Amino acid sequence: MSSGNPSERFVEAAGLKIEVMSGGSGRPVLVMHHDIGNQGWIPFYEELARDFTVFVPSHPGYGKSARPDWARNVRDIAIVYQSILGALGLERTAVVGLGFGGWIAAEIALGCPHRFDRIVLVGSAGMQPASGEIFDQFIVNTIDYLRTGFANPDDLEKTYGANIDAARLEAWELAREMTTRIAWKPYMFDQAMPYLAATIAAPVMLVHGREDRIVPLGCSERYASLIPGAKLKVIDGAGHFIEAERPTELAASVKAFVAGGR
Amino acid sequence: MHLMYFTEQPMSVYPEEEGRKLGYTALIFSNRYFDPVAASRLYQERLDEYRLAEECGFDGIMLNEHHNAPFCMQAKCNIFASILAAMTRRVKIVLLGNPLPISENPVRLAEELAMIDLISQGRLVSGFVRGGGTESLATNANPAYNRERFEEAHDLIIKTWTVPGPFRWEGNHYQLRVVNPWAVPLQKPHPRIWIPGVSSRETIIWAAEHRYPYLILNASIEDCKNIWKLYDESAERAGYTAGPEQRGYLIRCHVAESEEKALQNAREFMWMQGEFTGILDPVWAAPSGYLGPWARKFLSETHGGVYQKKPAPTFERQLRAMSIIAGTPKQAVEKLRILLEETRPSILAFWANDGKVNHEDSKTCIRLLGEEVLPAVREIGDRLGLKSPFEANTPVSLAATPASELRPRAESAAV
């Protein structure tokens, strides 16, 4: 049994029922999940929950959160998040954005500069890399996409088991469908991001796996070069799913950064 | 009956072994294997064959389009339609069809189709399709909005053809400041619209609700019966009784002077390694969101790598199931008789030549079809009362049907 005592509840935002998982105690940390949806109360959350109250909403249209049929882009989702955070009473919080979730976190920060006091973007999408492309999940199946996201492909099985159950596959499919609806084109970035990133006011730490084959390191490098004072931490040997590959190490970095260290 | 000639326009000279090695012959199968010299020759041969098909008595030439694959050299059916509009005199030019969701400007499409109708002096049949998943990927049209875009583009095209401009269109997926193309179709209220498909339940119901003939692409007799049952029930709910004039069928049918020769050439229907759209990653055929929520479980298995596509039935099995017909004209007529009796379509498309069937054999096949098969099929059709939409003079759509001919509309079917 986990000590974070995670619980699930629903809040209402922009007319949508939104699923929120939370656990732990202390100052709040919001975690923004990947484009495959939230994968339950994972060890990374448990690590964070030792020091923080961890909030993990399922993005609108993902998991058990209702789908906004009208949403066409990530910015629409970020705006719904303002209501979600309001409903959770998170007027000011630290945030950890994972991959695609990092893009949404960045968009929230652009829309409401005072919402976050610390921002950690892990292998974050949303920024077009100076060279290369973000790996296109829509050309391959979900399993191959996930495998590509681990530095060591065997970690896929270690994380999800040898036989992935039907319910998880269906949740991944629902997630993939929602990602199609809002991030099809341009794929996984916003052309305005390089011009707007500089307006992010809170301290930012970018974390990137050196072996990330989904989001090129160039995305984080570009964020780091554009956001004043941003710090970039590259983790050798890690891929895109760092929270699954290095939960303790990533949580330690987040703790140090949120506590004010650099 | 309305009898049409069709070929996929295969780019037969591609290195099969490369496809086998890679495990796919579509979407990302490199166009380094495209041979422009051969392609230019093949286009000329197809034009010759279409000319011959008209001479030999076909009522229509059916065209289609696909992208990024050697199985179909037509990337835009309106191009060949334009050529046929000027080159032929009598045949209907049947587009099955333009994939509406991949169009960024349906008004441009309406304009092109109007020009084809005008140049051909009213011989256009304008079919519309959703396009396969591969088409969405090849043209980067969001598959999650495929059906919404299909329906909106259709509504916009019909309005463009039937309501004098200028008007403004502020839709969900299409916004146009000024809709006022100078050219509108010759045929009134608009060219006939036929809808081809294989199995999408939503599309069958949609076609029936619009009173558009539905053309089944090479399904088994049993599947056809199920599709017609669904179509007929949807038609009844929409207030009319459907008949053969709403039924179309595409059959792979190759004839030659000897059975042996016919069988040898008909094996070419298997040339794309058993799959008539080539070998695809199942992910490309059905991207997420392309099908309705009913398909989510199936897609979760496809995208989860659990679902394994069954290999295509063998040539011999397809012959037995009559999804491929091959033989002398006499032998072919016997099979076609069964097909017509069992499924009662008034529109029959002959997918006659495919793969590496050479130009001479293709022409022989067209000639034999024209001389021996078409007259016999027409006789059977007459006996069975299979009147085409032209012969029966049916309204082009439900909207164009006089209210006095319709019964009150019932509740729409749940999909």
Rounded CA-CA distance B312/B321 in Å is: 13
Specify burial of residue B315 (Cβ count, 10 A radius: 0-12, 13-18, 19+): middle
Q: Are B6 and B365 within 8 A, CB to CB?
A: no
Residue in chain B closest to A183 (alpha carbons) equals: B142
Residue in chain A closest to B288 (alpha carbons) equals: A177
Rounded CA-CA distance A224/A238 in Å is: 19
Q: Is the pLDDT of residue B413 over 80?
A: no
Task: Say if the Cβ atoms of A185 and B142 lie within 8 Å.
Answer: yes
**Residues 298 to 317 of B: which have CB under 8 A from any A CB?**
299-306
Mean pLDDT estimate for chain B? 95
Task: Say if the Cβ atoms of A172 and B300 lie within 8 Å.
Answer: yes
Name the residue with higher pLDDT: B275 or A117.
Answer: A117
Interface test with B, best of A72, A73, A140, A142 (most B CBs within 10 A): A142
**CB-based contact (8 Å) between A198 and chain B?**
no
Q: How many CB atoms lie within 10 A of CB A140?
A: 18
Residue in chain B closest to A138 (alpha carbons) equals: B287
pLDDT in tens, B37-86: 999 999 999 999 999 999 999 999 999 999 999 999 999 999 999 999 99
Kindly tell me the number of DSSP H helices and DSSP E strands found in chain A. 10, 8
Residue A172: list chain B partners with CB under 8 A: 300, 303-304
Q: Are B369 and B352 within 8 A, CB to CB?
A: yes
- The pLDDT of residue B88 is 98
The set of residues, in sequence order, having a beta carbon less than 8 Å from that of B49 and lying 6+ positions away, is: B5, B7, B353, B359, B362, B363, B366
Task: Say if the Cβ atoms of B142 and A144 lie within 8 Å.
Answer: no
Rounded CA-CA distance A95/B194 in Å is: 54
Q: How confident is the model at residue B268 (pLDDT cuts 50, 70, 90)?
A: very high
Q: How confident is the model at residue A2 (pLDDT cuts 50, 70, 90)?
A: low
**CB-based contact (8 Å) between A169 and chain B?**
yes
Residue in chain B closest to A179 (alpha carbons) equals: B288
Q: How many CB atoms lie within 10 A of CB A79?
A: 16
Task: Say if the Cβ atoms of B296 and A177 lie within 8 Å.
Answer: yes
**CB-based contact (8 Å) between B134 and chain A?**
no
Q: How confident is the model at residue B307 (pLDDT cuts 50, 70, 90)?
A: confident
Q: Are B95 and B106 within 8 A, CB to CB?
A: no
Q: Is the pLDDT of residue B415 over 70?
A: no
- The pLDDT of residue A1 is 43
pLDDT in tens, A81-105: 999 999 999 999 999 999 999 999 9
The set of residues, in sequence order, having a beta carbon less than 8 Å from that of A208 and lying 6+ positions away, is: A122, A123, A215, A217, A219, A220, A232, A233, A234, A235
Rounded CA-CA distance B42/B158 in Å is: 35
Rounded CA-CA distance B233/B8 in Å is: 32
Task: Say if the Cβ atoms of B297 and A141 lie within 8 Å.
Answer: no
Question: What CATH fold (topology level) applies to the domain A7-258?
Answer: Rossmann fold (3.40.50)
Tokens at B306, concatenated: 């659990």
Task: Say if the Cβ atoms of A170 and B300 lie within 8 Å.
Answer: yes
Task: Say if the Cβ atoms of A173 and B288 lie within 8 Å.
Answer: yes
Task: Say if the Cβ atoms of B305 and A166 lie within 8 Å.
Answer: no
- The pLDDT of residue A230 is 98
**CB-based contact (8 Å) between B175 and chain A?**
no
Helix (H/G/I), strand (E/B), else coil: A99: coil
Q: How many CB atoms lie within 10 A of CB B406?
A: 14
Half-sphere exposure at residue B204, Cβ-oriented, CA atoms within 13 angstroms: 24
Tokens at B255, concatenated: 């004839």
- In angstroms, what separates the C-alpha of A69 from chain B's closest C-alpha? 11
Lowest-confidence pick of A18-32, B19-33, B235-249, B380-394:
B19-33
Identify which of B27, B28, B300 has the shortest CB distance to residue A173. B300
Tokens at A247, concatenated: 């939960």
Buried b (16+ CB within 10 A) or exposed e, B375-403: ebbbebbeebebbbbbeeebbbbbeebee
**CB-based contact (8 Å) between B281 and chain A?**
yes
CA A228 centroid distance within chain:
21
Q: How confident is the model at residue B278 (pLDDT cuts 50, 70, 90)?
A: confident
- The pLDDT of residue B414 is 55
**DSSP letters spanning B5-40:** EE-------S-HHHHHHHT--STTS-GGG--HHHHH
Using alpha carbons, select from B263, B284, B247 the residue that is nearest to residue B69. Answer: B284
Tokens at A118, concatenated: 């610390």
Task: Say if the Cβ atoms of A180 and B289 lie within 8 Å.
Answer: yes
Ramachandran region of residue A164, left (φ > 0), alpha (ψ -120 to 50) or beta? beta
- What are the structural domain ranges in chain B? 2-405
**CB-based contact (8 Å) between B142 and chain A?**
yes
Strand partners for B61: B5, B93
DSSP element (H, E) containing B44: helix B36-55
Average pLDDT over residues A163-173: 95
Q: Is the pLDDT of residue A256 over 50?
A: yes
Tokens at A99, concatenated: 């991959």
Rounded CA-CA distance B45/B138 in Å is: 27
Q: Are B38 and B359 within 8 A, CB to CB?
A: no
Using alpha carbons, select from B128, B111, B269 the residue that is nearest to residue B192. Answer: B128
Using alpha carbons, select from A217, A227, A242 the residue that is nearest to residue A106. Answer: A227
Identify which of A173, A181, A185 has the shortest CB distance to residue B303. A173
- In angstroms, what separates the C-alpha of A72 from chain B's closest C-alpha? 10
> Going by DSSP bridges, is the β-strand pair B92-99/B175-179 parallel, antiparallel, or unpaired?
unpaired
Residues in chain A: 262
Rounded CA-CA distance B110/B124 in Å is: 12
**CB-based contact (8 Å) between A133 and chain B?**
no
Interface test with A, best of B288, B294, B299, B306 (most A CBs within 10 A): B288
Task: Say if the Cβ atoms of A141 and B299 lie within 8 Å.
Answer: no
Interface test with B, best of A173, A179, A185, A187 (most B CBs within 10 A): A173
Residue A180: list chain B partners with CB under 8 A: 142-144, 287-289
Q: Are A124 and A96 within 8 A, CB to CB?
A: no
**Residues 9 to 38 of B: which have CB under 8 A from any A CB?**
27-28
Q: Are A92 and A115 within 8 A, CB to CB?
A: yes
Using alpha carbons, select from B407, B311, B326 the residue that is nearest to residue B361. Answer: B326
> Going by DSSP bridges, is the β-strand pair A116-122/A93-98 parallel, antiparallel, or unpaired?
parallel
Tokens at B254, concatenated: 């190759």
Average pLDDT over residues B341-361: 97
Share of chain B above pLDDT 90, in %: 85
Interface test with A, best of B147, B303, B308 (most A CBs within 10 A): B303
Tokens at A236, concatenated: 């050798």
Ramachandran region of residue B127, left (φ > 0), alpha (ψ -120 to 50) or beta? beta
Cα angle, residue B360 at apex, residues B256 and B276 outer, rounded to 5°: 70
Q: Tally C-beta pairs within 8 A across A and B.
A: 70
Interface test with B, best of A72, A165, A177, A188 (most B CBs within 10 A): A177
Residue with tokens 């060591």: A152
Rounded CA-CA distance B91/B58 in Å is: 7
Q: Are B102 and B136 within 8 A, CB to CB?
A: yes
The ipTM, to two decimals, is: 0.94
- The pLDDT of residue B412 is 61
Identify which of A139, A142, A177 has the shortest CB distance to residue B304. A142
Q: Are A235 and A246 within 8 A, CB to CB?
A: yes
Interface test with B, best of A140, A160, A163, A169 (most B CBs within 10 A): A169
Residue A179: list chain B partners with CB under 8 A: 288
CA distance to B30, B271, B306, per residue, from B19 (Å): 10, 11, 23
Residues in chain B: 415
Residue A184: list chain B partners with CB under 8 A: 140, 142-144
Q: How many CB atoms lie within 10 A of CB B222?
A: 11
Residue A144: list chain B partners with CB under 8 A: 305
Rounded CA-CA distance B325/B256 in Å is: 11
Residue in chain B closest to A184 (alpha carbons) equals: B142
**CB-based contact (8 Å) between A184 and chain B?**
yes
Is B2-405 a CATH 3.20.20.30 domain?
yes
Q: Are A123 and A240 within 8 A, CB to CB?
A: yes
Q: Are B244 and B214 within 8 A, CB to CB?
A: no
